[in-house]
Chains A and B, each alone.
Chain A
Amino acid sequence: MSALLRLEGVRAAYGHADVLVDVSLTVEEGRIVCLLGANGAGKTTLIRCVLGLTLLRGGRIFYADHEITHLPTHRRVALGIGCIPEGRRVFPKLTVEENLLAGAYQERSWTRIREQLERVYTVFPRLAERRGQLAGTLSGGEQAMLSIGRGLMRRPRLLLVDEPSLGLSPLLVRENFRVLEEIHGSGVTIFLVEQNVRQTLRIAHYGYVLAGGRLVASGTPEVLRADPALQAAYFGSATA
C-alpha cells in the first residue's frame, strides 16, 4: 500500500500558542485512518492544515506524491481531497440541491454532476424529497446527511471527516458510521477525526492519538485499545 497523505513534522500555532508540535503521520490509500484525542488536542487544526485553511509554521504535507504544503485550498480540492467539516457547515441560504452543486463546483461535466446527484439522492432519499428546501431549515440529522452528500459530490480520493457524530442522537451516530463504511467500500480513503473512541476504533484500520498537539500513540485498533496513552489522552495521565 502507498501513502496517500503524509505529514512530516507539521507545526501549527495560533499567535504564540502552539497547537500542533512536530506531527508526522501517514494515511495509506484505501484505508480508514482515525485521529483520536480530547477537545483542544489539535485534531481540527490538523484537518485545517491538510486543507490549507491554517498555515503551517513548519513541516511539510504530501498528497499522492505532490507536495501540497503551499497550495491554496481549491487546488488541493482539485487533486481529490474532499471534506465533511466539523459542525456540518451547510450553506444555510442555499437549497439542498444548490449545496450539493457547490460540492461539485470543480466538476465541469453536467452528465457527471447529474450522476453524482442521483447517487447522493439514492443514498439519502430524504435529501431528494427536500432538494428545493433551504438547507438552514433542515433538521440536524438532515444537515448531517447533506454535509456528507456534499462532500461526496466531487468523488474525492481522500475524504477528511471531522467529528461527524458531534451533536447527533445515538441512532444517527450509528447511521453515520454505517454510511462512512459504505463510502469507504466504494473506494474512498477516509481520514476520520472523532471523539467517539469505541465506534471509531470499530471501523478504523489504523489510528493516531493526539494530546496537547503531539502524537502520543499510534497503531491498529487492537494496539490502541490496549495502549494506556489513549486513556491518558482523554482522561489525563493517572500520574499527573
Chain B
Amino acid sequence: MTLFEKSVAGRSAFSFGFEEDRAVAERYIPEFARAAVKSLPQVAELDLVRHFTNLATMNYSVDTGFYPLGSCTMKYNPKINERMAADPRLTARHPLDDAAGNQGILQMEFELKESLQEITGMDDFTLQPACGAHGELTGMLIIHAYMRDHDAKRTKVLIPDSAHGTNPASASMAGFQVVTVPSNERGGVDMDALDKLMDDTVAAIMLTNPNTVGLFEENITRIAELVHARGGLLYYDGANLNALMGLIRPGDLGFDVVHLNLHKTFATPHGGGGPGAAPVGVKKFLADYLPIPVVVCRGGQYALDENRPHTIGRMSGFYGNTAVLARAYVYIKMMGRDGLLATSRAAVINANYVKALLSPYFPPAYDRPVMHETVLSAKGYDKYGVTLLDIAKRLMDYGYHPPTIYFPHFPPYAEEVMMVEPTESESKETMDSFCDALIKISQEAKENPDLLLSAPHDTVVTRVNETYAARHLITSHRDKKGT
C-alpha cells in the first residue's frame, strides 16, 4: 500500500511555526498561483516513520547480506564515511559562497583529486560528474572537443562487444558514431579486427580493464601502441578498478582519459541507484578541456578555477556530488597506500576462490585466472527445464542477492551467464555458504525443478510480472485513480 493510499484527511506531520497565508499569494502572485493539490497524502509523523521503515526492510542490502552483483562492486560502506559526510560544516555550505569560507571543503576536494591522480597515474581530474555514465559522457565530450580542435574527421569510437551498455550510449550522446570491436577466443579484444577498424576516422577506443568478463586485457600495451600510432585516444572505463589499486595504473598503461566510480571502488553507498560520483582524469594535454570549475591550490589557498578557455563547459549546476566525494575521501584516507593494495588483492583472491568452488557446476567460458569478478555459465540447466533466471530467483530463498545475470551479451556468453563479484568485503565463510547454496540449487534443478520455477518463495512478493507492468503502465498514483 502506498503512502497515498494510507492518507487520512486532516492528518499532518507538518511542524512549523506558521500556516498557509492565503493573502500572500493573492497579494503578490495573483495570476500565477495554482489551485491546491488535494491528492497528496496526509499522514502523521509516526505513519510516515512506519511506512518508510517497513519499506526499508523490504530491500536486500549490503548491510543485510551478500550482494555479489557483478560489475557493481557492492562492497561494504564504512559507517565513518556517513558520519563525516553528515558534518553540518559540509552539508550546510552554500556552493556559491566565497572560496575563503569553504577552504576545508576545497582542501578535501583537492586532496581527493591528488589521491585519484596517484592511484590512476593521470595528471588532472574533474570531480564534477554525478555517476559513471555522467563521467563517461564527460570524458567522451573532452575527446570530442579535442578532436574538433585537432582532427575533426575522427567521428567514430571503437567499443568492444563486451562493454557495458553505457559506453556506446555515452559515445553516441557525445556525438560519436559507435563501431563495435569483436572479442577474441581468450575474452580480450580481437587484435586483427582492431587493426582493420582503427583508421583515421576513429577518435578513440573505450575499454574497461579488467573487462566485463573479469579478465585483464592481455594485449593492452599493443592496443595502446596501435591506437596511439594511428592518432586515436584511449578511454578507460574505471568500473572495474577495484581489481587494480596499487597493482597497476591505467595512466601507465597508456590511457588518456579515465573515469572512476566512487560508489564502486571507493566504498560510497549505492543508495538504491545513486547518488554516486565519477571523477574524470586526463593526461596533461587534455587538462584544458576539463569542465569548469576545477579545484586548484594557489599559494596555499584553495579555489575553484573557471578560467579554462578550451573547457567543454559545465556538466551540472555546481561542482559535483560533494557529499559523495567526502565519503570516498575518508575511505582513501583510512585505507592508505597499503590498504588500497590489500583491497584489490583480496578482491582478486575472493573472485578466483568463488570461481574455483563453482566451476564444476557452472563452468567459466575461459580457463584463465580472473581479476575481481568471474562470469559463469548456467547453460546446461535448460535440459532440466530451468533457466538462469530461475536459479537466480531461487538464490533469494537462500538469503542471497543474485549475481548479475544475462550479462555480458556477447558470444560465447550469448545466454545464461552470471557475473559474480564478491569484493574484498566478504569473508571466506560467507563465500563458502553462498557457493554451497548455488551447488544445492544445481541439485534441486535436477531433482525438483519446480522449486526453482516457482521461486522465490520466502520474499515479500513472489515473481513480479514485468509484462503486465509494461502493458498497463501505472507509473504514478494519478494513473491508479484513473483506472
A-B complex is real: no
* Residues in A lying within 8 Å of B, measured CB to CB: none
* Residues in B lying within 8 Å of A, measured CB to CB: none
